[in-house]
Structure 1
Protein backbone atom coordinates (compact mmCIF):
# COMPACT_ATOMS: atom_id res chain seq x y z
CA UNK A 1 0.00 0.00 0.00
CA UNK A 2 1.44 3.36 -1.05
CA UNK A 3 -0.41 6.04 0.92
CA UNK A 4 -0.57 9.50 -0.63
CA UNK A 5 -2.42 12.13 1.36
CA UNK A 6 -3.38 15.62 0.24
CA UNK A 7 -3.88 18.78 2.20
CA UNK A 8 -7.21 19.61 3.81
CA UNK A 9 -9.32 21.88 1.63
CA UNK A 10 -12.57 22.40 3.50
CA UNK A 11 -13.40 24.30 6.65
CA UNK A 12 -15.13 22.24 9.33
CA UNK A 13 -17.48 24.68 11.05
CA UNK A 14 -19.87 22.14 12.57
CA UNK A 15 -17.60 19.56 14.15
CA UNK A 16 -19.27 17.00 11.87
CA UNK A 17 -17.65 14.90 9.17
CA UNK A 18 -18.35 12.33 6.50
CA UNK A 19 -16.28 9.60 4.84
CA UNK A 20 -16.46 8.36 1.25
CA UNK A 21 -14.63 5.17 0.26
CA UNK A 22 -14.15 4.95 -3.50
CA UNK A 23 -12.83 1.80 -5.17
CA UNK A 24 -11.35 3.78 -8.05
CA UNK A 25 -10.32 7.39 -8.41
CA UNK A 26 -13.43 8.52 -10.32
CA UNK A 27 -16.17 6.63 -8.50
CA UNK A 28 -16.70 9.28 -5.84
CA UNK A 29 -17.21 11.90 -8.55
CA UNK A 30 -19.93 10.16 -10.56
CA UNK A 31 -21.77 8.78 -7.55
CA UNK A 32 -21.30 11.11 -4.59
CA UNK A 33 -19.84 14.47 -5.66
CA UNK A 34 -23.12 16.27 -5.07
CA UNK A 35 -23.53 14.80 -1.60
CA UNK A 36 -19.93 15.72 -0.79
CA UNK A 37 -20.35 19.31 -2.00
CA UNK A 38 -23.67 19.66 -0.19
CA UNK A 39 -22.16 18.66 3.14
CA UNK A 40 -19.07 20.80 2.63
CA UNK A 41 -21.42 23.75 2.09
CA UNK A 42 -23.09 22.84 5.39
CA UNK A 43 -19.76 22.99 7.21
CA UNK A 44 -18.89 19.30 7.30
CA UNK A 45 -15.35 18.00 6.97
CA UNK A 46 -15.51 15.55 4.07
CA UNK A 47 -12.82 12.99 3.30
CA UNK A 48 -12.53 10.72 0.27
CA UNK A 49 -10.40 7.58 0.35
CA UNK A 50 -9.55 6.16 -3.08
CA UNK A 51 -8.47 2.55 -2.77
CA UNK A 52 -7.00 2.57 -6.28
CA UNK A 53 -6.58 4.84 -9.27
CA UNK A 54 -8.57 2.53 -11.55
CA UNK A 55 -5.44 2.38 -13.64
CA UNK A 56 -6.04 -1.02 -15.22
CA UNK A 57 -9.79 -1.35 -15.52
CA UNK A 58 -11.19 2.17 -15.71
CA UNK A 59 -8.74 4.14 -17.84
CA UNK A 60 -9.40 2.84 -21.35
CA UNK A 61 -9.13 6.25 -23.02
CA UNK A 62 -5.63 6.69 -21.62
CA UNK A 63 -4.45 3.22 -22.61
CA UNK A 64 -5.67 3.76 -26.18
CA UNK A 65 -2.96 6.36 -26.64
CA UNK A 66 -0.68 3.44 -27.47
CA UNK A 67 2.80 2.29 -26.54
CA UNK A 68 3.69 5.63 -24.97
CA UNK A 69 1.33 4.84 -22.08
CA UNK A 70 2.61 3.09 -18.97
CA UNK A 71 0.88 2.16 -15.74
CA UNK A 72 2.83 4.87 -13.94
CA UNK A 73 1.65 7.51 -16.43
CA UNK A 74 -1.95 6.33 -16.17
CA UNK A 75 -1.80 6.46 -12.38
CA UNK A 76 -0.36 9.97 -12.47
CA UNK A 77 -3.09 11.18 -14.82
CA UNK A 78 -5.85 9.61 -12.75
CA UNK A 79 -4.42 10.99 -9.53
CA UNK A 80 -4.34 14.50 -10.99
CA UNK A 81 -7.95 14.21 -12.17
CA UNK A 82 -9.19 13.02 -8.79
CA UNK A 83 -7.18 15.65 -6.93
CA UNK A 84 -8.64 18.46 -9.04
CA UNK A 85 -12.16 17.08 -8.52
CA UNK A 86 -11.67 16.87 -4.76
CA UNK A 87 -10.32 20.42 -4.68
CA UNK A 88 -13.41 21.65 -6.52
CA UNK A 89 -15.67 19.84 -4.05
CA UNK A 90 -13.73 21.10 -1.03
CA UNK A 91 -12.92 17.58 0.17
CA UNK A 92 -9.79 15.97 1.53
CA UNK A 93 -8.56 13.00 -0.47
CA UNK A 94 -6.23 10.11 0.30
CA UNK A 95 -4.98 7.56 -2.22
CA UNK A 96 -4.13 4.08 -0.94
CA UNK A 97 -2.95 2.78 -4.34
CA UNK A 98 -3.74 -0.91 -3.77
CA UNK A 99 -4.38 -1.69 -7.44
CA UNK A 100 -7.48 -2.69 -9.37
CA UNK A 101 -8.68 -5.44 -11.72
CA UNK A 102 -8.10 -7.34 -9.54
CA UNK A 103 -8.29 -5.43 -6.26
CA UNK A 104 -6.95 -7.13 -3.15
CA UNK A 105 -7.14 -5.68 0.36
CA UNK A 106 -4.35 -6.38 2.84
CA UNK A 107 -4.54 -6.05 6.61
CA UNK A 108 -2.38 -2.95 6.24
CA UNK A 109 -5.06 -1.32 4.10
CA UNK A 110 -7.84 -2.47 6.41
CA UNK A 111 -6.11 -1.02 9.46
CA UNK A 112 -5.37 2.23 7.62
CA UNK A 113 -9.12 2.60 7.08
CA UNK A 114 -9.69 1.89 10.77
CA UNK A 115 -7.26 4.68 11.63
CA UNK A 116 -9.09 7.03 9.26
CA UNK A 117 -12.43 6.23 10.91
CA UNK A 118 -11.04 6.95 14.34
CA UNK A 119 -9.30 10.15 13.33
CA UNK A 120 -12.26 11.47 11.34
CA UNK A 121 -15.10 10.25 13.60
CA UNK A 122 -17.58 10.44 10.68
CA UNK A 123 -21.32 10.86 11.08
CA UNK A 124 -21.87 8.80 7.92
CA UNK A 125 -19.91 6.78 5.39
CA UNK A 126 -20.63 6.22 1.70
CA UNK A 127 -19.31 3.44 -0.50
CA UNK A 128 -20.43 1.06 -3.23
CA UNK A 129 -23.34 -1.34 -3.57
CA UNK A 130 -22.87 -4.67 -1.81
CA UNK A 131 -23.34 -6.52 -5.12
CA UNK A 132 -21.98 -5.70 -8.57
CA UNK A 133 -21.59 -8.53 -11.09
CA UNK A 134 -19.86 -6.15 -13.51
CA UNK A 135 -17.13 -4.92 -11.18
CA UNK A 136 -15.90 -7.01 -8.26
CA UNK A 137 -13.75 -4.16 -6.94
CA UNK A 138 -16.91 -2.26 -5.96
CA UNK A 139 -18.49 -4.70 -3.47
CA UNK A 140 -15.03 -5.43 -2.07
CA UNK A 141 -14.68 -1.71 -1.32
CA UNK A 142 -17.99 -1.72 0.55
CA UNK A 143 -17.01 -4.88 2.42
CA UNK A 144 -13.75 -3.41 3.70
CA UNK A 145 -15.54 -0.14 4.49
CA UNK A 146 -17.97 -1.98 6.75
CA UNK A 147 -15.33 -4.26 8.26
CA UNK A 148 -13.12 -1.29 9.14
CA UNK A 149 -16.13 0.44 10.70
CA UNK A 150 -16.73 -2.50 13.04
CA UNK A 151 -13.06 -2.72 14.04
CA UNK A 152 -12.99 1.04 14.68
CA UNK A 153 -15.82 0.49 17.19
CA UNK A 154 -13.89 -2.18 19.10
CA UNK A 155 -12.44 -1.05 22.43
CA UNK A 156 -9.79 -3.76 22.25
CA UNK A 157 -8.29 -2.50 18.98
CA UNK A 158 -5.52 -0.10 20.00
CA UNK A 159 -6.86 0.35 23.55
CA UNK A 160 -6.89 3.94 24.70
CA UNK A 161 -7.82 5.40 21.34
CA UNK A 162 -11.23 6.99 20.92
CA UNK A 163 -13.59 4.51 19.28
CA UNK A 164 -16.20 5.63 16.77
CA UNK A 165 -19.94 5.66 17.30
CA UNK A 166 -22.25 4.14 14.70
CA UNK A 167 -21.95 6.19 11.51
CA UNK A 168 -24.73 5.56 9.01
CA UNK A 169 -23.66 3.39 6.07
CA UNK A 170 -25.08 4.23 2.66
CA UNK A 171 -24.38 2.77 -0.77
CA UNK A 172 -24.14 5.25 -3.61
CA UNK A 173 -25.52 4.51 -7.06
CA UNK A 174 -23.88 1.78 -9.16
CA UNK A 175 -23.80 1.90 -12.95
CA UNK A 176 -26.22 -1.01 -13.37
CA UNK A 177 -28.73 -0.59 -10.56
CA UNK A 178 -31.04 -3.54 -11.22
CA UNK A 179 -28.29 -6.13 -11.56
CA UNK A 180 -26.64 -4.79 -8.40
CA UNK A 181 -29.90 -5.10 -6.44
CA UNK A 182 -29.51 -1.47 -5.45
CA UNK A 183 -32.70 0.39 -4.54
CA UNK A 184 -32.53 4.07 -3.56
CA UNK A 185 -34.27 4.83 -0.28
CA UNK A 186 -32.61 8.19 0.35
CA UNK A 187 -32.29 11.18 -1.96
CA UNK A 188 -29.98 14.16 -1.55
CA UNK A 189 -31.08 17.35 -3.28
CA UNK A 190 -27.93 18.53 -5.08
CA UNK A 191 -29.59 21.26 -7.14
CA UNK A 192 -27.75 24.11 -5.34
CA UNK A 193 -24.36 22.44 -5.96
CA UNK A 194 -25.01 20.92 -9.37
CA UNK A 195 -22.56 23.20 -11.20
CA UNK A 196 -19.89 22.20 -8.69
CA UNK A 197 -20.55 18.51 -9.34
CA UNK A 198 -20.51 19.04 -13.10
CA UNK A 199 -17.16 20.85 -12.82
CA UNK A 200 -15.80 17.90 -10.84
CA UNK A 201 -17.18 15.49 -13.44
CA UNK A 202 -15.36 17.36 -16.18
CA UNK A 203 -12.06 16.77 -14.39
CA UNK A 204 -12.33 13.08 -15.24
CA UNK A 205 -10.93 13.24 -18.76
CA UNK A 206 -10.09 9.54 -18.78
CA UNK A 207 -13.80 8.66 -18.75
CA UNK A 208 -15.37 11.48 -20.74
CA UNK A 209 -18.00 9.08 -22.09
CA UNK A 210 -19.66 9.13 -18.65
CA UNK A 211 -20.05 12.90 -18.26
CA UNK A 212 -23.47 13.17 -19.88
CA UNK A 213 -24.61 9.79 -18.58
CA UNK A 214 -24.27 10.90 -14.96
CA UNK A 215 -25.86 14.23 -15.78
CA UNK A 216 -28.92 12.30 -16.96
CA UNK A 217 -28.80 10.17 -13.80
CA UNK A 218 -28.84 13.31 -11.64
CA UNK A 219 -31.82 14.69 -13.56
CA UNK A 220 -33.73 11.40 -13.21
CA UNK A 221 -33.04 11.20 -9.47
CA UNK A 222 -34.14 14.82 -9.22
CA UNK A 223 -37.54 13.91 -10.66
CA UNK A 224 -37.84 11.03 -8.20
CA UNK A 225 -36.76 13.18 -5.25
CA UNK A 226 -39.36 15.80 -6.16
CA UNK A 227 -42.01 13.11 -6.42
CA UNK A 228 -41.12 11.84 -2.95
CA UNK A 229 -41.66 15.21 -1.28
CA UNK A 230 -44.91 15.71 -3.18
CA UNK A 231 -45.29 17.20 -6.63
CA UNK A 232 -47.19 20.16 -5.19
CA UNK A 233 -44.35 21.05 -2.81
CA UNK A 234 -42.89 24.50 -3.37
CA UNK A 235 -39.33 23.21 -3.16
CA UNK A 236 -37.83 22.88 -6.63
CA UNK A 237 -35.55 19.87 -7.02
CA UNK A 238 -33.90 19.49 -10.42
CA UNK A 239 -30.85 17.37 -9.58
CA UNK A 240 -30.42 14.70 -6.90
CA UNK A 241 -28.27 11.74 -5.92
CA UNK A 242 -29.82 8.47 -4.82
CA UNK A 243 -28.43 6.44 -1.95
CA UNK A 244 -29.34 3.07 -0.46
CA UNK A 245 -29.16 3.23 3.30
CA UNK A 246 -27.85 -0.04 4.79
CA UNK A 247 -28.11 0.78 8.50
CA UNK A 248 -31.36 1.43 10.40
CA UNK A 249 -32.61 4.87 11.36
CA UNK A 250 -33.24 5.29 15.08
CA UNK A 251 -35.80 8.01 15.78
CA UNK A 252 -38.53 9.12 18.15
CA UNK A 253 -40.66 10.67 15.42
CA UNK A 254 -41.60 9.31 12.00
CA UNK A 255 -42.68 12.52 10.29
Structure 2
Protein backbone atom coordinates (compact mmCIF):
# COMPACT_ATOMS: atom_id res chain seq x y z
CA UNK A 1 0.00 0.00 0.00
CA UNK A 2 1.44 3.38 -0.98
CA UNK A 3 1.94 6.32 1.36
CA UNK A 4 -0.78 8.18 -0.55
CA UNK A 5 -3.47 5.54 0.06
CA UNK A 6 -2.66 4.06 3.49
CA UNK A 7 -4.56 5.31 6.52
CA UNK A 8 -2.24 6.97 9.03
CA UNK A 9 -2.93 7.12 12.76
CA UNK A 10 -1.05 9.35 15.21
CA UNK A 11 -1.47 8.74 18.95
CA UNK A 12 0.08 11.27 21.33
CA UNK A 13 0.30 10.68 25.07
CA UNK A 14 1.64 12.67 27.99
CA UNK A 15 3.62 9.66 29.24
CA UNK A 16 5.22 6.72 27.50
CA UNK A 17 2.65 4.13 28.62
CA UNK A 18 -0.53 6.16 28.06
CA UNK A 19 -1.11 4.77 24.56
CA UNK A 20 -0.87 1.19 25.82
CA UNK A 21 -3.75 1.30 28.28
CA UNK A 22 -6.07 3.53 26.28
CA UNK A 23 -5.52 2.81 22.59
CA UNK A 24 -3.26 -0.20 21.98
CA UNK A 25 -6.26 -2.10 20.61
CA UNK A 26 -7.13 0.70 18.20
CA UNK A 27 -3.54 0.84 16.99
CA UNK A 28 -3.36 -2.93 16.50
CA UNK A 29 -6.66 -2.99 14.59
CA UNK A 30 -5.47 -0.08 12.44
CA UNK A 31 -2.14 -1.63 11.49
CA UNK A 32 -3.67 -5.09 10.99
CA UNK A 33 -5.96 -3.49 8.41
CA UNK A 34 -2.92 -2.15 6.53
CA UNK A 35 -2.64 1.30 8.07
CA UNK A 36 0.44 3.01 9.48
CA UNK A 37 0.64 4.15 13.09
CA UNK A 38 2.97 6.34 15.10
CA UNK A 39 3.04 6.86 18.83
CA UNK A 40 4.53 10.06 20.25
CA UNK A 41 5.06 10.45 23.97
CA UNK A 42 5.69 13.89 25.41
CA UNK A 43 7.53 12.40 28.40
CA UNK A 44 8.60 9.05 29.79
CA UNK A 45 6.53 9.43 32.95
CA UNK A 46 9.80 8.89 34.74
CA UNK A 47 8.86 10.82 37.89
CA UNK A 48 5.16 10.21 38.35
CA UNK A 49 4.39 6.89 36.67
CA UNK A 50 7.41 4.68 37.29
CA UNK A 51 7.01 3.87 40.97
CA UNK A 52 8.04 0.23 40.64
CA UNK A 53 11.34 1.24 39.08
CA UNK A 54 12.14 3.63 41.92
CA UNK A 55 12.10 0.74 44.39
CA UNK A 56 15.50 -0.32 43.00
CA UNK A 57 18.41 0.93 45.17
CA UNK A 58 20.51 3.58 43.47
CA UNK A 59 17.95 4.21 40.76
CA UNK A 60 18.45 7.29 38.54
CA UNK A 61 16.26 9.41 36.29
CA UNK A 62 18.30 8.53 33.21
CA UNK A 63 18.09 4.81 33.89
CA UNK A 64 14.34 5.01 34.41
CA UNK A 65 14.04 6.82 31.08
CA UNK A 66 16.07 4.11 29.36
CA UNK A 67 13.88 1.39 30.80
CA UNK A 68 10.67 3.23 29.94
CA UNK A 69 11.88 3.83 26.39
CA UNK A 70 12.68 0.15 25.94
CA UNK A 71 9.30 -0.88 27.36
CA UNK A 72 7.38 1.57 25.15
CA UNK A 73 9.24 0.52 22.01
CA UNK A 74 8.41 -3.12 22.76
CA UNK A 75 4.76 -2.28 23.42
CA UNK A 76 4.49 -0.20 20.25
CA UNK A 77 6.08 -2.97 18.19
CA UNK A 78 3.52 -5.43 19.56
CA UNK A 79 0.74 -3.38 17.94
CA UNK A 80 2.66 -2.46 14.78
CA UNK A 81 3.56 1.15 15.58
CA UNK A 82 6.68 3.30 15.73
CA UNK A 83 7.49 5.03 19.02
CA UNK A 84 9.05 8.45 19.65
CA UNK A 85 9.48 10.33 22.93
CA UNK A 86 10.06 14.08 23.09
CA UNK A 87 11.37 13.75 26.68
CA UNK A 88 9.82 16.94 28.05
CA UNK A 89 9.65 15.79 31.66
CA UNK A 90 6.61 14.92 33.75
CA UNK A 91 4.84 15.97 36.96
CA UNK A 92 4.74 18.65 35.85
CA UNK A 93 4.74 18.39 32.07
CA UNK A 94 5.59 21.83 30.75
CA UNK A 95 5.48 22.74 27.06
CA UNK A 96 6.49 25.81 25.12
CA UNK A 97 6.27 27.13 21.55
CA UNK A 98 9.25 25.03 20.47
CA UNK A 99 7.45 21.86 21.58
CA UNK A 100 4.37 22.81 19.59
CA UNK A 101 6.68 23.34 16.62
CA UNK A 102 8.14 19.84 17.06
CA UNK A 103 4.66 18.32 17.00
CA UNK A 104 3.75 20.38 13.95
CA UNK A 105 6.83 19.00 12.17
CA UNK A 106 5.81 15.46 13.07
CA UNK A 107 2.27 16.04 11.82
CA UNK A 108 3.45 17.65 8.61
CA UNK A 109 5.83 14.77 7.93
CA UNK A 110 3.34 12.00 8.77
CA UNK A 111 0.13 13.75 7.61
CA UNK A 112 -2.13 11.63 9.83
CA UNK A 113 -5.73 10.97 8.91
CA UNK A 114 -6.56 10.53 12.60
CA UNK A 115 -5.02 12.13 15.70
CA UNK A 116 -5.80 10.73 19.17
CA UNK A 117 -4.77 12.16 22.54
CA UNK A 118 -6.04 12.87 26.08
CA UNK A 119 -9.25 14.73 26.98
CA UNK A 120 -8.86 18.33 28.07
CA UNK A 121 -9.87 17.63 31.69
CA UNK A 122 -8.39 15.35 34.34
CA UNK A 123 -8.72 16.27 38.03
CA UNK A 124 -6.21 13.59 39.03
CA UNK A 125 -3.39 14.07 36.53
CA UNK A 126 -1.85 17.50 35.83
CA UNK A 127 -0.02 16.35 32.68
CA UNK A 128 -2.94 14.99 30.64
CA UNK A 129 -4.73 18.33 30.02
CA UNK A 130 -1.38 19.89 29.07
CA UNK A 131 -0.91 17.17 26.47
CA UNK A 132 -4.38 17.85 25.06
CA UNK A 133 -3.71 21.56 24.75
CA UNK A 134 -0.40 21.22 22.94
CA UNK A 135 -1.73 18.52 20.57
CA UNK A 136 -4.81 20.56 19.78
CA UNK A 137 -2.71 23.62 19.00
CA UNK A 138 -0.27 21.68 16.84
CA UNK A 139 -3.10 20.03 14.92
CA UNK A 140 -4.72 23.40 14.19
CA UNK A 141 -1.42 24.90 13.05
CA UNK A 142 -0.75 21.88 10.86
CA UNK A 143 -4.03 22.26 9.00
CA UNK A 144 -3.65 26.06 8.79
CA UNK A 145 -6.56 28.12 7.56
CA UNK A 146 -7.62 25.18 5.35
CA UNK A 147 -8.57 27.43 2.44
CA UNK A 148 -5.09 28.86 1.95
CA UNK A 149 -2.11 29.58 4.18
CA UNK A 150 1.29 31.14 3.68
CA UNK A 151 3.09 28.18 5.29
CA UNK A 152 3.29 24.41 4.91
CA UNK A 153 0.15 22.53 5.92
CA UNK A 154 -1.34 19.04 5.84
CA UNK A 155 -5.00 18.07 5.28
CA UNK A 156 -7.16 18.35 8.42
CA UNK A 157 -7.23 15.16 10.45
CA UNK A 158 -9.98 13.58 12.46
CA UNK A 159 -9.47 14.45 16.13
CA UNK A 160 -10.48 12.14 18.97
CA UNK A 161 -9.59 11.62 22.61
CA UNK A 162 -9.13 8.25 24.24
CA UNK A 163 -10.83 7.13 27.43
CA UNK A 164 -9.27 8.48 30.65
CA UNK A 165 -8.90 6.41 33.79
CA UNK A 166 -12.01 7.94 35.40
CA UNK A 167 -14.15 9.08 32.46
CA UNK A 168 -17.09 10.50 34.44
CA UNK A 169 -14.80 13.03 36.13
CA UNK A 170 -13.08 14.09 32.91
CA UNK A 171 -16.12 15.03 30.84
CA UNK A 172 -15.60 11.99 28.64
CA UNK A 173 -18.69 10.72 26.78
CA UNK A 174 -17.95 7.92 24.28
CA UNK A 175 -18.97 8.58 20.70
CA UNK A 176 -16.96 5.79 19.07
CA UNK A 177 -16.40 2.18 20.11
CA UNK A 178 -13.61 0.29 18.34
CA UNK A 179 -13.98 -3.49 18.28
CA UNK A 180 -10.61 -4.88 19.39
CA UNK A 181 -11.69 -8.51 19.83
CA UNK A 182 -9.47 -9.78 17.03
CA UNK A 183 -6.40 -7.93 18.31
CA UNK A 184 -6.98 -8.08 22.05
CA UNK A 185 -4.05 -10.44 22.61
CA UNK A 186 -1.77 -7.86 20.98
CA UNK A 187 -3.03 -5.30 23.48
CA UNK A 188 -2.34 -7.77 26.29
CA UNK A 189 1.21 -8.24 24.96
CA UNK A 190 1.68 -4.46 24.87
CA UNK A 191 0.38 -4.11 28.43
CA UNK A 192 2.78 -6.78 29.66
CA UNK A 193 5.67 -4.87 28.10
CA UNK A 194 5.08 -2.01 30.56
CA UNK A 195 6.63 -3.67 33.60
CA UNK A 196 6.74 -0.45 35.61
CA UNK A 197 2.94 -0.31 35.81
CA UNK A 198 1.79 -3.88 36.21
CA UNK A 199 -1.08 -2.76 38.46
CA UNK A 200 -2.93 -1.30 35.46
CA UNK A 201 -3.13 -4.52 33.43
CA UNK A 202 -6.14 -5.96 35.20
CA UNK A 203 -8.02 -2.65 35.22
CA UNK A 204 -7.66 -2.08 31.49
CA UNK A 205 -8.40 -5.70 30.64
CA UNK A 206 -11.65 -5.32 32.58
CA UNK A 207 -12.35 -1.97 30.92
CA UNK A 208 -12.01 -3.59 27.49
CA UNK A 209 -14.59 -6.19 28.53
CA UNK A 210 -16.95 -3.47 29.82
CA UNK A 211 -16.70 -1.47 26.62
CA UNK A 212 -17.14 -4.67 24.62
CA UNK A 213 -20.46 -5.15 26.42
CA UNK A 214 -21.49 -1.60 25.55
CA UNK A 215 -20.44 -2.06 21.93
CA UNK A 216 -22.53 -5.24 21.66
CA UNK A 217 -25.59 -3.39 22.93
CA UNK A 218 -25.06 -0.50 20.50
CA UNK A 219 -24.33 -2.64 17.45
CA UNK A 220 -26.23 -5.85 18.10
CA UNK A 221 -23.07 -7.71 17.12
CA UNK A 222 -22.69 -10.59 19.56
CA UNK A 223 -19.16 -11.35 18.35
CA UNK A 224 -17.72 -8.21 19.98
CA UNK A 225 -15.96 -9.23 23.19
CA UNK A 226 -13.54 -6.36 23.84
CA UNK A 227 -13.62 -2.73 22.74
CA UNK A 228 -12.00 0.65 23.35
CA UNK A 229 -13.92 3.90 23.68
CA UNK A 230 -13.14 7.28 22.12
CA UNK A 231 -14.80 10.66 21.92
CA UNK A 232 -14.78 12.80 18.80
CA UNK A 233 -13.69 16.40 19.26
CA UNK A 234 -14.22 17.37 15.62
CA UNK A 235 -17.20 15.98 13.63
CA UNK A 236 -16.42 13.49 10.90
CA UNK A 237 -17.80 13.94 7.37
CA UNK A 238 -19.64 11.08 5.66
CA UNK A 239 -21.53 10.70 2.39
CA UNK A 240 -24.63 9.32 4.06
CA UNK A 241 -26.03 7.57 7.12
Secondary structure of residue in 2 paired with 1:253: coil
Deviation at residue 12 of structure 1 after TM alignment: 6.2
Matched, 1:56 2:43: no
Secondary structure of residue in 2 paired with 1:178: helix
Match among 13, 18, 39 for residue 22 of structure 1: 13
Deviation at residue 16 of structure 1 after TM alignment: 1.9
Partner of 1:7: none
Partner of 2:161: 171
Deviation at residue 87 of structure 1 after TM alignment: 1.1
Aligned equivalents of 1:64 and 1:11: distance in 2?
47
Distance 1:147 1:228, change over 3 A: same
Aligned equivalents of 1:193 and 1:15: distance in 2?
19
- The 5 A counterparts of 1:133-148 are 133-148=123-138
Matched, 1:131 2:121: yes
Aligned equivalents of 1:211 and 1:48: distance in 2?
19
Match among 74, 85, 109 for residue 119 of structure 1: 109
- The 5 A counterparts of 1:1-255 are 14-66=5-57, 68-154=58-144, 156=149, 159=151, 161=152, 163-230=153-220, 233=221, 235-254=222-241
Q: Which runs of 5+ in 1 are unaligned?
A: 1-9
How many residues end up aligned between the 2 structures? Answer: 238
Deviation at residue 13 of structure 1 after TM alignment: 9.0
Q: Which runs of 5+ in 2 are unaligned?
A: none
Deviation at residue 47 of structure 1 after TM alignment: 0.5
Structural RMSD (CA): 1.7
Aligned equivalents of 1:106 and 1:252: distance in 2?
39
Deviation at residue 251 of structure 1 after TM alignment: 2.5
Q: What is the TM-score with the length of structure 1 in the denominator?
A: 0.89
Q: What is the TM-score with the length of structure 2 in the denominator?
A: 0.94
Distance 1:202 1:13, change over 3 A: farther
Aligned equivalents of 2:202 and 2:63: distance in 1?
26
Distance 1:134 1:77, change over 3 A: same
Secondary structure of residue in 1 paired with 2:213: helix
Asked if the contact 1:49/1:93 (under 8 Å) is kept, the reply is: yes
Deviation at residue 15 of structure 1 after TM alignment: 2.3
Asked if the contact 1:52/1:99 (under 8 Å) is kept, the reply is: yes
